[in-house]
Structure 1
């Protein structure tokens, strides 16, 4: 299995020698998952990968992205989440991990009492933000810290998608520049595309635990569709999905690739794009 290159790879791709982060030996450079889940005659094939970016590899910094995939206890709903720790915070990877873990647990609790169309997304993100603020205050050893003070050390964007295997309904929400897409031959963004139509591109984002209003996503998923949740490490080079990166990934992900191949594809080489890369894809 070789490296995947889309367009001009840039010099860094062939020259960076990855260095570990001595402060976080427990944190893997790359994590990968792949399996199938079944419910009511439908099968969902899952692939997920989070890959440390070239910049973090070069400077010996921890991977700040995280993902989660799980089902509810009854198997009806697949929950896919991606979080991207804000790079300025030394402990933002902890915020990303906590966001997807707590968010997944809260969603399972919610879906045990109501159907997905009724998910109170704004309240959910308020609870996740409070969870991160409390966790951060404990981690930093000062219960008096405000959410803003915690956010200076650890903050994260997050996207959650809920796929109903009984009906094909897809429901999701995002804070920040993680994003939810549907791949149906081509790429269909389920939320506004970052910097789309902007004269000046910006990397500034709103991130938890600061208050933020989530951007919702809704779709009806058909057999053969692919639900894809991305960090901006993949979303930025993808753009609106109509360019070279979109065409290449759409072809690679027409069907579920082997797990290791999927991770290599998520970590594709392309000049100037050196951020952490995370993607969760679900083929129905």
Structure 2
């Protein structure tokens, strides 16, 4: 059985003292002392700013899809005083190029604290992780979404994402993706969440699994993308409503049943670790070719996306046909839409065409 050891202690606090600034009028120069200030070309001359174009370009406007809602402009973001070292926003963008070889894929990832958590001073409870196997054959990904009902659910999401990805990387050393035991993976991840809680929750040594779930629970979606061929073979396993999609020419193709797709009344009830599902994890498989995108997301994006045919689906499809700049990607993940104020997390992979040798 694979094991993972993690140091979950916080990093030491590093202080950044303010520099002492002295106002210029505290020690004024005597009037009788001449002050010779050389003229700097263009400085203090209004015509300079009028006649020369600025040496910069660009602007930023938040993305909105439909009605953004009042929260988009009225929420005042406040930090979580219990989680100073957990960041509001995490962003990554890179090319997968094993051992200096040709580029095989582009990856973008972003996890953003939602408007609700910003307003109420609660930490971001989503997490993502990724890792390339040592042989460079597979890219392993995860998006995890801690349930807001548990005050420590962000820890559950961290364990599910980081430990789960490491367990998959270890398993792929001797198992092909099609043969992965997803049920065993979920049990092992659940066990790590329980072990964490029993060690770190006050008085947690005797907690039952159901009691751990009240403190910390998380959904998780994992993907293993094979990089050997131009068309990526992708295998997915998940618990809960974090989802995996393929963005292809026809549009959004879900790799699992769409949440509340046919329900007259939408439900927010989801399965979540450390409670292991009673039913076996359903194996999902897809192929993703150059020009298409593999997308893993938490329900903060999945819920407004729904089945991909609405305005959110059209907006994201237009934005992600090609890999955007990583900061632009994060801004797109954080689009405003009325009543959707949950944390937002997306990991996207664009397979690249292979150049002829």
**Structure 2 length-normalised TM:** 0.78
The corresponding residue for 2:210 is: 148
Aligned to 1:267: 334
CA distance in 1, matches of 2:164, 2:292: 25
- TM-superposed deviation, 1:76: 1.1
Structure 1: which 5+ runs fail to align?
none
SS in 2 for 1:68: strand
1:142 Cα deviation from its structure 2 partner: 2.4
Q: Conserved in 2, the CA contact under 8 Å of 1:180 and 1:217?
A: no
Query: How far has the Cα of 1:115 moved from its partner?
Result: 1.2
Structure with the larger RCO, 1 or 2 (CA within 8 Å, 6+ apart): 1
Distance (whole Å) between structure 1 residues aligned to residue 319 and residue 307 of structure 2: 17
Correspondence for 2:187: 126
- Aligned residue for 1:181? 245
| Higher share in strand | 1
Contact 1:233 1:277 in 2 (8 A): yes
Aligned residue in 1 for 2:257: 192
Return the match for 2:233 from 169, 175, 189: 169
The equivalent of 1:78 in structure 2 is 139
Q: Secondary structure at the residue paired with 1:177?
A: coil
What is the aligned-residue RMSD (CA, Å)? 1.1
1:64 to 113, 116, 125: 125
Aligned-partner Cα distance in 1 for 2:128–2:118: 19
The number of residues matched between the two structures is 284
How far 1:211 sits from its partner (Å)? 1.4
The CA distance in 2 between the partners of 1:5 and 1:36, in whole Å, is 28
Q: Any conservation in 2 of the 1:42–1:165 contact (CA below 8 Å)? A: no
Cα distance per residue 1:252-284 (max 9 Å; x no partner): 001111111111100000000000000000000
Q: Which residue of 1 aligns with 2:97?
A: 38
The separation in 2 between residues aligned to 1:96 and 1:131, in whole angstroms, is 11
CA distance in 1, matches of 2:103, 2:234: 14
The aligned residue for residue 64 of structure 2 is: 5
Which structure has the bigger radius of gyration? Answer: 2
Give the equivalent residue in structure 2 for 1:52. Answer: 113
Deviation at 1:215, TM superposition (A): 3.4
Gaps in structure 2 of 5+ consecutive residues: 1-59, 352-357
Q: Is the 8 A contact 2:137 2:228 kept in 1?
A: yes
CA distance in 2, matches of 1:42, 1:14: 40
Q: CA deviation at 1:2?
A: 1.5
Q: What SS does structure 2 have at the residue aligned with 1:152?
A: helix
